[in-house]
Structure 1
Amino acid sequence: MINGILIIDKEKGYTSHDVVAKLRGMIGQRKIGHTGTLDPEATGVLPVCLGKATKVCGLLTDKEKVYETELLLGVSYDTQDTTGMLLKERDISALTEAQVQGVIMSYLGTYAQVPPMYSALKVNGKKLYELAREGVTVERKAREVNIYEIDILAMNLPRVSLRIRCSKGTYIRTLCHDIGEELGVGGAMNKLKRTAVANFTLADSIRLGELARLIDEGHLEKRIIPIDRVFDRYPAGVVKREFESLAYNGNKLTFAEASIDPVQVGERVRLYNEDGEFIGLYEEDKQRLKVHKMFYDSEAKRED
């Protein structure tokens, strides 16, 4: 089994599920999961976890993301993007670039965002987009999201190109819609490209066609990213040989046994064995280290 992360540059027309299904066929492995859905018309960074790396799917989904998008002003769509049904067109001739810039930048920081009806969120066990397709609209609770950075890349009204760094759960098309509504003219997302998830960027990514070629040539391993790279920002320790069995069995360790300086309450660390193999992610607990996520499989190691 292959354990690690593939960063796919998703192309238009594929759902995130399509990408996983194709990879299962290409690699010949069932244990594969994606981290964070991209709409079919969206492109860009889609981390896919293989084997033991599926344990980090949830952790990656929670990370901040970076998008490049085009906001189209003067229009409103039922889906909040231009793939849906046009509901209304409004005149934008009175708008100035300064007004547009001011409203866009006002969204920096935390704001309460109401998820769109055309989303995969569930209400009473049914996905919102399924209800929307039936013509049903239900009340949605606003959720707090964070917009860490907004860069206006170009402005040629009614079109505005933006780069946005945001928290998990942020709907960029809803942000575009909200900006348009605040300006009084409506707005919709016209394009979307995800350029980063956590510390993974487009530079790490590969398209499915190129990946198929590498697999045919027997070079898939060149694109597999080790699991521990997800945790690069955490300090690393090396468990002394005589204490490795304690680590493999999930026992707590002292900082001395892990050859690492003490960390703050609740802080996490990466632990390796003396052979450089990643054991898992640990966290401080009452002046000791306890397992947060274990990745080392001692049984599989013995079989090797």
Structure 2
Amino acid sequence: MDGFLNVLKPPGMTSHDVVAFLRKKLNIKKIGHLGTLDPGAAGVLPISIGKATRLSQYIFDLKKSYRAEITFGFSTDTLDKYGNIVEVTPVRQFTNDILENVIKKFEGNILQIPPIYSAKKINGKKLYEYARAGKEINIKPSTINIYEIKVLSYEIPYKLLIDVKCSKGTYIRALVRDICKSLSVAGYMSMLIRTSVGLFNIDNSYTLEDIKLDNYKLLDMDSILSLPSVYLDYIDSKKIMHGQCIENKYLFNTEKIVKLYNSDKMFIGIGNIRNSKIYVERLLFGAEE
């Protein structure tokens, strides 16, 4: 069993919990996830199964989208509803112009400081480990890209619902923190749903109940790899599947990572074109697999 599975993670489970559930259900050890989703959040959690776990490093720049609810009035140390209250402020009504002007400031390439309660690692330790130990640590900002923020609804004056399209590495809790700071009001992320990760969309995701009932379908291993395709002839297929490099007579004037297909048009792995040759980068099927 090899491929990717689009799982709809329920709130209350960690990404690791979902992987453990799938290992038991599918009776396979080689299972991983593409990007952690907070335990309190729900939504799309892409899962790699079998040989697909060996392709994670070739899945580049998956854009993500989220639906988040901001509740104004107080903030927490975890930036969501599960933390301890650290600040309380009066709540006032915002005009549409104020909301739009503040939100637009966060679109584009911006610097963001990750939440102290997060799994991001510094010096080999996760940030939440420092937080739980009461240790202060200097957290450097990361560059992220917010492609779009859209206001869906405003329940005056307490709740704001937004959709966010962003790059990998974006923390929506931190975005909510910074939006509230710009509005000069305390607030926290009261709900989060991840609606897409690359080609994985919430509309075609599978619940854990679906998976229990075997009502799911795996995505082909090559289907989400945004790489050029090279279809090898019979001789070159045999050489590549034995780990040999071959002359590049397929894609010219280029040096890049590519998807390799044998003469039967079956996806067999990842190749690396350089110096007019194609080298094996990751072989999934073949004598040297």
Q: TM-score, normalised by structure 2?
A: 0.91
Distance 1:252 1:155, change over 3 A: farther
Matches within 5 A, 1:78-157: 78-93=77-92, 95-157=94-156
Q: Determine the C-alpha separation between the residues in 2 that align with 1:100 and 1:74.
A: 16
Tell me the equivalent position of 2:207: 207
Amino acid at match of 1:293: R
**1:159-218 CA-partner distances (Å, limit 9, x unpaired):** 22111111111100000000101111133211111111121112331111111111xxxx
Unaligned 5+ segments in structure 2 are none
Q: By how many angstroms is 1:291 displaced? A: 3.3
Tell me the equivalent position of 1:282: 271
1:224 aligns with 2:218: yes
1:294 aligns with 2:256: no
Distance 1:165 1:264, change over 3 A: farther
Q: By how many angstroms is 1:3 displaced? A: 1.3
- 2:182 aligned counterpart, secondary structure: helix
Corresponding residue to 1:245 among 238, 242, 256? 238
Corresponding residue to 1:271 among 260, 274, 277? 260
Amino acid at match of 1:234: L
Identity %, equivalent residues: 36
Distance 1:60 1:189, change over 3 A: farther
Q: Aligned-pair RMSD on alpha carbons?
A: 2.1
Tell me the equivalent position of 1:262: 252
Amino acid at match of 1:262: F
Contact persistence 1:68–1:164 (CA under 8 A): yes
Tell me the equivalent position of 2:43: 44
Distance 1:195 1:297, change over 3 A: farther
Tell me the equivalent position of 1:181: 181
Q: TM-score, normalised by structure 1?
A: 0.87
Distance 1:297 1:188, change over 3 A: farther
Q: Count how many residue pairs are aligned between Structure 1 and Structure 2.
A: 288
- 2:246 aligned counterpart, secondary structure: coil
Q: Determine the C-alpha separation between the residues in 2 that align with 1:8 and 1:187.
A: 30
- 1:223 aligned counterpart, secondary structure: coil
Contact persistence 1:60–1:197 (CA under 8 A): no
- 1:176 aligned counterpart, secondary structure: helix
Contact persistence 1:36–1:61 (CA under 8 A): no
Distance 1:67 1:293, change over 3 A: farther
Q: Determine the C-alpha separation between the residues in 1 that align with 2:43 and 2:10.
A: 7
Q: Determine the C-alpha separation between the residues in 1 that align with 2:14 and 2:234.
A: 46
- 2:149 aligned counterpart, secondary structure: strand
